Amino acid sequence: MKILNYINGELKEPAAGAYLDNYDPSIGQVYGQVPDSDSTDVADAYKAATAAQKGWENTPAEEKFKVLNAIAEGIDAKREEFALAESRDQGKPLWLSRNEMIRAAQNFRFYATAAMQFASESHAMENRAINYTLRQSIGVVGCISPWNLPLYLFSWKIAPALAAGNAVVAKPSEFTPATAFLLSEVCIQAGLPKGVLNIVHGLGPKVGQAMVEHPKIKAISFTGGTVTGKYIAATAAPMFKKLSLELGGKNPNIIFADADLDKAVKTTVNTSFMNQGEICLCGSRLLIEESVYEEVKNALIEEVKKLTVGDPMNDSTRIGAIVSKPHYEKVKSYIELAQEEGGKVLIGGQTVHPEGKENGWYIQPTIIEGLKAECRTNQEEIFGPVITIMPFKNEAEALEIANGTEYGLAATFWTNDLKRAHRLASELEFGIVWVNCWLLRDLRTPFGGVKSSGVGREGGWEAMRFFTEPKNVCIAL
């Protein structure tokens, strides 16, 4: 598969003609080419975007709705093609890609309706004046997304940016460019006016950096690692760009003795290992109340034994391939570190070589116990199929451990005590708290983290507010 940039409504070769290899992680081999674009391509994309922006901003809301909805329908119509491309590119099981493609289409559908309904506020000042807040499009905005949920997260940014009347320059991760490329074809078919969305493929430090440095791209919505986020923030700050940063996590998953333990254990398998643990919301630190520690631990190990690791295209596969060789090596190095730090591997820990896919990058789902809350394994984001488990004595201790990292993205806990549910939900220092569930998503809710997990929120009206500039108009009566 040869990927092309999407600039000014056309599929284009990168200006310098350079390409990078694109790997299929299930076999560890190159299967395609992705543009190695540079600042010239970003400048071209900006030129097209700025030429198109006012026209798009002034397009009636109903027309915006129709086009965004047509993009959603275009993804739905090619769902299987999209899902196959996503699994091949990313390594995730095909059943999961199918679900994510439904969600990518939903993102466009959700923000198609937002284009129709988003409104300005007004504030009457007795009989002296009326204030109204114009929510105006920002202009040209940049969207940068990671490799773990490629189209799902790409569309989560692009759809609200477009619904708010902006033109977009966007960069998917060069590890997983395939579905963004298919999306450009869908946008052409859906009649999205040329230049309104431009997708530039390539490396973060080249293409992403050129976007963040571009003085006229006025806002950047970024999802990725905390280190990259810091760098982007430092680059963008002197230009006073608007920034939305969705960064890493080290999420706790807390099981209290009074919970529905069966449900907690069954869900925890997903919380820990869905998408090979490569979801920013996965719970990587499992805290279990002392009195049920052994019972929950053993039940979880039994469930994990049932998970098949292997070819992403097989229906029976629960854990697919790790996205890239460097990431595979990083995850393996953390399993080694955990043991150096005194951790005991209860299950997993090894590389898997599925028949016919021996050179792919596969790691068994891994549970490690016996580590202190402060050790590196419990403080740093691993972002793979690896969790640690720790016992706790009481709610206060669980809270202290849960809050005791630099991250604050998502916390999950399991209890049937209503008072505790509200108390703990309020005290956990996280942007998202799930009680007796995990990854239950309502697209209207604010999404994002605190501390080193990010700045700002996506989702619902939050994203529409981010992608617009409020202007107060005061009219004396």
Q: With respect to ligand NDP, which residue has the nearer C-beta, 203 or 433?
A: 203
Supply the minimum distance, in Å, between the C-beta of residue 62 and ligand NDP.
31
Annotated catalytic, 246? yes
Q: With respect to ligand NDP, which residue has the nearer C-beta, 352 or 410?
A: 410
449 binds ligand NDP (CB under 6 A): yes
Strand order of the β-sheet with 242-246 is 10-12, 5-7, 197-199, 167-171, 140-144, 219-223, 242-246, 454-455
DSSP-assigned letters across all residues of 364-385 = --EEEES--TTSHHHHS---SS
Q: With respect to ligand NDP, which residue has the nearer C-beta, 225 or 404?
A: 225
Q: With respect to ligand NDP, which residue has the nearer C-beta, 392 or 466?
A: 466
Write out the binding residues for ligand NDP, residues 229-268 only, by CB under 6 A.
231-232, 246-249
Question: Which residue from 43, 70, 188, 203 is in contact with ligand NDP, where contact means CB under 6 A?
Answer: 203
Question: Which residue from 46, 118, 256, 383 is in contact with ligand NDP, where contact means CB under 6 A?
Answer: 383
Query: HSE on the CB side for 117, CA within 13 Å?
Result: 10
Q: What mask of x and - would describe binding to ligand NDP in positions 85 to 114, judged by CB under 6 A?
A: ------------------------------
Question: Which residue from 69, 106, 148, 366 is in contact with ligand NDP, where contact means CB under 6 A?
Answer: 148
- Catalytic residue, from 280, 381, 395, 462: name it: 280
Place of tokens 């992705």: 34
Q: With respect to ligand NDP, which residue has the nearer C-beta, 190 or 279?
A: 279
Place of tokens 């016992």: 391
How many whole angstroms separate alpha carbon 328 and alpha carbon 384? 8
Annotated catalytic, 280? yes
Site residue total, ligand NDP (CB under 6 A): 33
Supply the minimum distance, in Å, between the C-beta of residue 308 and ligand NDP.
25
Supply the minimum distance, in Å, between the C-beta of residue 6 and ligand NDP.
16
Other C-beta atoms closer than 10 Å to the C-beta of 14 total 24
Choose the binding region for ligand NDP from 46-54, 228-236, 370-378, 437-445 (rule: CB under 6 A): 228-236
How many whole angstroms separate alpha carbon 157 and alpha carbon 166? 12
How many whole angstroms separate alpha carbon 302 and alpha carbon 342? 23
How many whole angstroms separate alpha carbon 204 and alpha carbon 229? 11
- Catalytic residue, from 86, 100, 174, 246: name it: 246
Q: With respect to ligand NDP, which residue has the nearer C-beta, 348 or 459?
A: 459
Contact (Cβ atoms closer than 8 angstroms) between residue 448 and residue 457: yes
385 binds ligand NDP (CB under 6 A): no
Nearest CA among 40, 42, 3 for reference residue 20: 3
How far is C-alpha 295 from the geometric centre of its chain's CA atoms? 33
Question: Which residue from 5, 26, 228, 275 is in contact with ligand NDP, where contact means CB under 6 A?
Answer: 228
Supply the minimum distance, in Å, between the C-beta of residue 331 and ligand NDP.
12
173 binds ligand NDP (CB under 6 A): yes
Question: Which residue from 144, 168, 321, 401 is in contact with ligand NDP, where contact means CB under 6 A?
Answer: 144
In total, the chain counts a number of residues equal to: 477
Nearest CA among 377, 468, 378 for reference residue 141: 468
- Residue partners of 41: CB distance under 8 A and separation at least 6: 5, 7, 14, 15, 35, 200, 202, 207
Nearest CA among 60, 68, 142 for reference residue 106: 68
Supply the minimum distance, in Å, between the C-beta of residue 202 and ligand NDP.
7
Place of tokens 């027309």: 63
Q: Give the residues lining the site for ligand NDP (CB under 6 A).
A: 144-148, 153, 171, 173-175, 203-205, 208-209, 212, 223-225, 228, 231-232, 246-249, 280, 381, 383, 409, 449, 453-454
Q: Which residues carry out catalysis?
A: 246, 280
